[in-house]
Amino acid sequence: MKIALEEVQRIAHLAHLRLSGDEAEKLRGQLDQILGYIDKLDELSTEGVEPAAGGMIGPGPPMREDSVAGTLSTEDALANAPESGRGHFKVPKVIP
Amino acid sequence: MSLRDLFARREVSASEIVAAHLERIDRVEPRVEAFHTLMAASAKKQAAELDLGLSRGETPGPLAGVPVAIKDVLAVKGVPATCGSRILETFVPPYDATCVTRLKEAGAIVLGKTNMDEFAMGSSTEHSAFGKTRNPWDLERVPGGSSGGSAAAVAARETPLAIGTDTGGSIRQPAAFTGTVGLKPTYGRVSRYGLVAFASSLDQAGPFSRTVRDAALALSVMSGADPKDMSCSTEPPGDFVAAAAGRGRQIKGLRVGVPREFLGEGLDPEVGQAVARCHELLASAGAEIVEVSLPTTGYAIAAYYIVATAEASSNLARFDGVRYGLRDKDAATLRDMYESTRVAGFGPEVKRRIMLGTYALSAGYYDAYYLKAMKVRTLIRRDFAEAFTKADILVGPTTPTPPFRFGEKLDDPLSMYLSDIYTVTANLAGIPGLSMPCGFTRAGLPIGCQLLARHFDETTIFSVASALEAGLDVARAAPPLAVDR
């Protein structure tokens, strides 16, 4: 067994997901199978191999002038918010 | 595009073009369900503006009057971008993705937004929260995914052009399944600004079309540097359209590589035969066929599902009910609100991948999984670098099998993942890849052939693809549903 039920619940907590008992059990089995498959990477020797750094090809990102340009208005940026007020996103009370 | 030329010569108006496509959509869409949002009113308005512009003597753009459908993962200002997810069901982007801006500026008319696997995670479009899209060639089968809606819309003749995104094969696999041309450009060729990120180091947007030439034209419009995306390259575009018209590289003397690992166990014999015919055609046109090896191929899916899910777990953290989309308004605390919003908003495949990615990045597992996978990614890049010393282009199958039936792989995530075996390596290496129709199975299902080239060498892909297209004569084939009345 690659992954235990408690581990699944710990990962769910880190990922801001809440799983029911049934859901966690089903996921545990599926993750177990997938991680078992991924273990085949251990067959490959990667000694002395540099890890890839991302997707970019060739020289790093191009530079551009640090010039002032238009951005979204506060109104546009808040237009999709489930709840907003006084130019801010509103969330449930954080400080008790 | 001949449609653009007909418009420019005033043989047909943009309004007539839009009306004809909307009529086709009316007729076939109930069976195909390629679209999530149809933009009939704004398409008619855009067409009227183009007609007015032409009558005033304005020069029509390279895609003037040409309808285009956009995958629902790309931002079109003022139109919902759901990404196939409940969590973004109400999200309306306040700006256009850069590639959408460029298509509009070239005169393309946006017909609507297409269905997709939730957050582009899937290979069948069955993971959309808003229902399945059917393969126009066989309504009992999947159109592929994740850009299944865009692929099906082009195959069903609902639009001549559609845009998809490809993180591990999400343009090429559905193109193969629907008998269309689909291109994943070199990483950095097309700006990702306005593309809702799944795996930022792998995602690329690209076109679906019926002909190689249309794909080349669309890429020439979409590509190019963008100050809004730092990963977008300043590499100058090639003359894609000339290459697709046969005025690029000559086939005679070209070294065509056949990747040995793409022709082994698991390859459907009918797919293998159709691809072998492509090799024969190129050989008879004077190409030199050479066998090449990509020895890390068998490990690519394992590496891909670590890299892609790790990036996804981070990218999808932003969907938390604060700035856009769904929110559980009854939650009492912030933590409760995050959790219950995400639990209600994400489907099972997205949750599975967030879990896998979070696990791979979590303390104690990072070296064993993420770091190892990134080293394997280096090996895959080396495989291609080595193969491209022996060959100018690689030609092989896009998928191991023809399109599968609904439900066939839905409850077996690993088997679904393995259907991407020939496509994920191009994303991990960042090279361009194109899938084009190369034949049909005896049961009448489309078969795709995949062309892979060096970084930023889409011109060689278009040269070879246009030669194959001319020799194969399959581009004109249409699914029965698109021609019957």
Residue B147 DSSP one-character state: S
* In a domain? residue B57: yes
* In a domain? residue A75: no
Domains in chain A, number: 1
* In a domain? residue A60: no
* In a domain? residue B457: yes
Categorise residue B187: left if φ over 0, alpha if ψ from -120 to 50, beta otherwise: beta
For A28, the domain range is 5-43
* In a domain? residue B150: yes
* In a domain? residue A62: no
Shortest CA distance to B397 belongs to which of B277, B291, B243? B277
* In a domain? residue B160: yes
Q: B207-266: per-residue pLDDT in tens?
A: 999 999 999 999 999 999 999 999 999 888 899 999 999 998 999 999 999 999 999 888
* In a domain? residue A38: yes
- Cis, peptide link before residue B146, omega less than 30° from 0: yes
* In a domain? residue B359: no
Cβ-Cβ contacts under 8 Å, B362 against chain A: 11, 14
* In a domain? residue A29: yes
Q: B404-438: per-residue pLDDT in tens?
A: 999 999 888 888 888 899 999 999 999 999 999 99
Measured between CB atoms, which of B323, B372, B430 is closest to A55? B430
Q: B264-322: per-residue pLDDT in tens?
A: 888 999 999 999 999 999 999 999 999 999 999 999 999 999 999 999 999 999 999 99
Cβ-Cβ contacts under 8 Å, B455 against chain A: 57-58
Strand order in the sheet with B433-440: B35-38, B109-114, B67-71, B161-166, B204-209, B181-184, B433-440, B446-452, B393-397, B255-259, B288-292
Shortest CA distance to B426 belongs to which of B206, B141, B228, B160? B206
Quickly state the pLDDT bin for B1 (edges 50, 70, 90): low
Best to test chain B binding among A57, A72, A75, A89 (most B CBs inside 10 Å):
A57
Bigger pLDDT: A27 or B485? A27
Q: What is the mean pLDDT of chain B?
A: 96
Please say if B170 is a catalytic residue.
Answer: yes
Please say if B362 is a catalytic residue.
Answer: no
Flag whether pLDDT at B484 surpasses 70. Answer: no
CATH code for the domain of B402: 3.90.1300.10
What ranges in B328-433 are assigned the alpha helix state H?
334-345, 348-361, 372-390, 413-418, 424-429
Domains in chain B, number: 1
CB distance A82 to B91 below 8 Å = no
Cβ-Cβ contacts under 8 Å, A43 against chain B: 299
- Whether the full predicted model's pTM is greater than 0.95, yes or no, is yes
CATH code for the domain of A23: 1.10.20
Answer whether A52 sits within 8 Å of B320, measured CB to CB: no
Please say if B71 is a catalytic residue.
Answer: yes
For B172, the domain range is 2-296+378-483
Quickly state the pLDDT bin for B341 (edges 50, 70, 90): very high
Q: B36-51: per-residue pLDDT in tens?
A: 999 999 999 999 999 9
* In a domain? residue A88: no
* In a domain? residue B163: yes
The active-site residue out of B170, B191, B233, B435 is: B170
* In a domain? residue B351: no
Measured between CB atoms, which of B186, B305, B324 is closest to A38? B305
* In a domain? residue B190: yes
Measured between CB atoms, which of B305, B327, B332 is closest to A34? B305
* In a domain? residue A50: no
- pLDDT at residue B264, rounded to an integer: 84
Coil/strand/helix, residue B234: coil
* In a domain? residue A86: no
Cβ-Cβ contacts under 8 Å, B352 against chain A: 27, 30-31
Helix, strand, coil shares of chain B as percentages rounded to 5?
Answer: 45, 15, 40
The active-site residue out of B15, B128, B146, B191 is: B146
CB distance B78 to B96 below 8 Å = no
Answer whether B306 sits within 8 Å of A38, measured CB to CB: yes
